Amino acid sequence: MVIGLLLVLQSGTPVYDRVILRGHVMDPASQLDAVRNIGLSGGRIAAITTEAIRGRDTVDARGLVVAPGFIDLHAHGQTAETYQYYALDGVTTALELELGTADVAAWYREREGGERINYGVSVGHIKVRMAVMHDSGTWMPVGDGAYRAATPAQIGEIAKRIEAGIREGAVDIGAGFPYTPAATRDELLAVFRVAGMTKTPVHVHIRPGVAGLTEALALAAETNAPLHVVHVNSSALAETPVMLEMIGDARMHGHDVTTEAYPYDAGMTEIKSATIQDVYKNAPDERLAELEWPPTGERLNRESFERYSRIGGPVVIHTNTEQMVALAISNPLTIIASDAYWQNGTGHPRTTGTFAKVLGHYVREAHSLSLMDAIRKMTLMPAQRLEARVPAMRQKGRLRVGADADITIFDPATVIDRSTYREPSLAPVGIQHVIVNGVSVVANGQAVEGVAPGKAIRAPQ
């Protein structure tokens, strides 16, 4: 019992491990929107009250919003460095659910010592396909994993390994159709059949536009697989309104479909990947100018594209508009997810600024959505997407007695992102305190050193 973990004074008044005093508590699940005191003990929320409470450690939250810890369903990297970046942006749980891993058990073993924040992974079709096809790519497929059709035996092996990953506790199945263009419909159906039989969501980077969404919806409908469409903003571009309408219509007809968006009008991926090479390899210079090389800030032409394609590395893709991004962020269907990307010491500013940018720009400055709705998209909605597969998620994304003590405290008047494409590591301002399983990992806007309270987010095995 949580109460058994409390120290009790002679008067009978409990002393909590940590208390958060006089904060503006905002909880989308209960719609609580008021000043309260919160007591934490044993890694859980033990009290939410208007009464005076005491703790061995105190956070003065006057003038600050106290929210459930942010949950990021789409966070690449998953290293000590990126976990710190995520925490400084208010994230308490970061999950790699698109690319995933080919070896779920090994991925979790590597993090058994604990991390700064909670972590989890999918079993990834991309990674499994790379293993089965003996692709030499280190992050994305660059050879047979992308460009060679699998034999029936290989398709069977891919499905078998995905099933094994599910048994090992993978959060879900990840897939990225543009990164594996040689995967046939039979192969994709085999993956979705595993998802349907096990009721495991498939987090899919679809092919571009309405045709890409139609393909994914058809696969999910045929196999009764839960579907999550990643970064609808960058997959839809100008077709964002119609594609969000398609997702809403599918939901109205009883299909388990969700989606997400990030608040930037440029994407990023590996320049050697099929999704870049297939589109830009033979493109004219005016189309190549959509690509930016982060270390130099230069827009690419034929010569520089070919040169950097030989070197490899992340490239920025300028193809969207602010109008479409704002529409995606404000739509009631979308979860906020960063698609954080970090490789060899650099990456996309969404790695460090996604959640602060939504709160600062889209809520405070642009009034595109309410603060409560933004918090819902960052907390309750991602938790609900996963809780059927991962019951532990029912204790996250909420501020209630008994829930996990994952809490983000920010200043609504100042919170904003600072990172740019040239300086992507700049932390946001206004994220004052971040607590993971009752332990402070960010205090007064600074990372706390030497703490690793994060736990594995994993489906039952």
The structural domains of the chain, with segments of one domain joined by +, span: 2-68+403-447, 70-390
Give me the pLDDT at residue 11, please: 52
Residue whose entry in the numeric block shows the structure tokens 């959060």: 171
Tokens 């992340």 map to which residue? 314
CATH number of 2-68+403-447: 2.30.40.10
> pTM for the full model?
0.95
pLDDT at 155: 99
Give CA–CA dist 336/330, Å, rounded.
10
Q: What is the pLDDT of residue 2?
A: 39
Whether domain 70-390 has CATH 3.20.20.140: the reply is yes
Predicted pLDDT at 343: 81
The predicted structure's pLDDT at residue 274:
86
Tokens of 31: 């719609």
Q: What integer pLDDT is reported at residue 420 of this predicted model?
A: 93
- What confidence score (pLDDT) does residue 344 get? 78
Tell me what pLDDT residue 4 has: 38
Q: How many CB atoms lie within 10 A of CB 147?
A: 16
Q: Which residues of the chain have pLDDT under 70?
A: 1-12
